[in-house]
Amino acid sequence: MRSTFRVFARYLRGVLPLCVLGALVACSGTPQKHTPAALSPNAALISVKQVWTAKVGEVTFPVNAQVSDQRIAVASAAGVVMVLDANTGAQVWRASVGTSLAAGAGYDGQVAAVITRNNELIALESGRELWRQQLTAQSYTAPLVAGGRVFVLAADRSVSAYDGQSGRRLWNQQRPGEALVLRQPGVLLAVGDTLVTGMSGKLLGMNPLNGSIRWEAPIASPRGTNDVERLVDLVGPAHRLGNMVCARAFQAAVGCADASRGLLLWSKPGSGSVGLTGDEPLIYGVEADSSVIAWRRADGERAWATEHLRYRDLSAPVLAGQSVVVGDGAGLLHFLSRDKGVPQTRVSTDGSAIVTAPVWTGSTVVVVTRNGNIFGFRPE
């Protein structure tokens, strides 16, 4: 199995509900409704063509679409797991785990992993189930499959590792934390020979062989006088370029750290609740009001911001060619220029919300909608 790693081949208070993104948040009452910004005529400055479509089934959980070797793994709420050719949309394999899902899918090109609502971790390969293991807590973050192992970030602030072929649990690292967690994907990725995860506003670097903590880098610190105000979980997706990892702390901050040294490079206030993307000069993100912002990678100072998509319930962004791409709550995919955030074009899907951060495969932008349709778009 190909390895992403180079080296290796708060507790949950029972009386408190888990806080759901969009219910603001977090259990604090009815959210204020805003009228989405009216869309101007489509600029159509670039051409984007729909090149394929597929269907996985309704998506009602925090779904992750994971690409490896030009293949993409997706999953539905009902427990269907699919791997598709990201360039053509052709089905590579399809399987059902027989129960509803809470998170997924993680994928390394061979093994896909999902987590059920019954707190089971299930691994599949080539459409057949390899194993399943009972977890001690729920998870809303897709498992990370890397280095022949499957890593899980759970809602009880624990991180665990499992053998990718047998399912044997290799280690578990429990951390204290705040009373509430977000019911949305957190941060879990590989950087060289380090497992990087997010807990309570910090990026943590862990030894993937035994779970020991190598370093901590605080993106944001809990503040306020109650559990809701102190909620600063890191939300995915995080952005990585070389050893630099940039992440968002929920409605608190955006920051970047050097994952080779565990050094915080900078942290700036930010109000968003979805993850980041980036390139060499800039980091891109979406704020709570759907403003799209670019920060300078070097120092975190703001490079540009655009508000023409305010309150349109935007996804996390992805970079595709010369564009920053975001999906919205009406199933539209918006292409903005990287240098200034100027609208380039927009394309439609099926009218239901885009529920994943768009994925860029190198030639195709892939999105999944709440109705369970998967679309491949290619800028021309």
Each domain of the chain, given as residue ranges in start order, spans: 48-379
pLDDT for 2? 41
Does residue 232 register a pLDDT over 60?
yes
Least trusted range by pLDDT, from 20-34, 44-58, 94-108, 349-363? 20-34
* Better pLDDT: 18 or 287: 287
Q: What is the pLDDT of residue 177?
A: 62
For CA atoms 268, 274, 279, 282, give the dihedral sign: negative
pLDDT value of position 16: 33
Superfamily of domain 48-379: YVTN repeat-like/Quinoprotein amine dehydrogenase (2.130.10.10)
Say which residue, 180 or 258, is predicted with more confidence: 258
Q: What is the pLDDT of residues 243-261, one digit of tens each?
A: 999 999 999 999 999 999 9
User: Quick one: average pLDDT of 17-34?
Assistant: 45
- pLDDT (mean) for 199-207: 94
HSE on the CB side for 82, CA within 13 Å?
23
Question: What is the reported pLDDT for 291?
Answer: 97
Q: What is the pLDDT of residue 179?
A: 65
272 in Cβ contact with 285 (< 8 Å): yes
Q: Is the pLDDT of residue 320 over 70?
A: yes
State the chain's mean pLDDT as an integer.
Answer: 90
pLDDT of residue 99: 97
User: What does pTM read for this prediction?
Assistant: 0.90
pLDDT band at 225, cuts 50/70/90? confident
